[in-house]
Copies of this chain bind each other. A is one copy, B any other.
Amino acid sequence: MHMTTQAQGLHTHVLDTLGLAITAGEYPPGSVLRTDELARRFEVSRTVIREVVRVLESMHLVESRRRVGVTVRPTELWNVYDPRVIRWRLAGADRPRQLRSLTVLRSAVEPVAAGLAATHATPGQCRELTEQALGMVATSRGGRLEAYLVHDIAFHRVVLNASGNEMFARLGDVVAEVLAGRTHHHVMFEDPDPAAVTLHVRVAEAVRERDAARAEELTREIAVGALRELDVLAP
């Protein structure tokens, strides 16, 4: 992994750097940045800085006021559903709390999504679900965490998509960030919990058999397990 992303354009680089710095608390809420100072620091034109600031503003990370500058807003105003904000924060210091709140969100949403999936999933989605569950089983032992992660992400993404609800579907990215985050930062057992793996297979079954109540309940068990795991590993 490189220190900073570069080839994608000045804008992207500055945005990532600044966003990361702000979410990491390097500039605590209330801090004031000035555009031409930033321009000098990053050695780019004010044009680029202004665009970056506009985007940060659209995430409610900062507020830009005349004669004052660009001030960092209090944490509770940040748009924490923006995937970039999530990634920045998962990379930063308060990853534990972040992972916890995201997992609680998952525990609320995914069971309902699974229930809906059981009534809405297309045959193709059912097949996909079963395949990913089997993939999880196949990679659940022997320290093949990366391969397991791919299937895990795919599984949950299919469930959310199959729910037929747009808001749920768009949480696929968030869930992916969470799963990737807990794997890459080792907030996870060395091998996936066998019970969890089994539960995924049974969820796939329940969806295939159009048993909404069971799909919901089983997914709820997965969520409870994930929360418990978090309690143990990131107190």
Contact = CB atoms under 8 A, between A and B. Distances in A.
Nearest to A75: B166
Contact of A76 (B47, B51, B113, B169): B169
Contact of A58 (B58, B80, B105, B170): B58
A54 interface: yes
Interface residues of A, number: 33
Contacts of A79: 81-83, 170
A101 B166 contact: yes
Nearest to A168: B105
Contacts of A104: 112, 116, 165, 167-168
A32 interface: no
A50 interface: yes
A108 B113 contact: yes
Given A51-B50, A107-B112, A108-B112, A81 B166 contact: no
A59 B84 CA distance: 11
Contacts of A202: none
A102 interface: yes
Contacts of A147: none
A166 B102 CA distance: 9
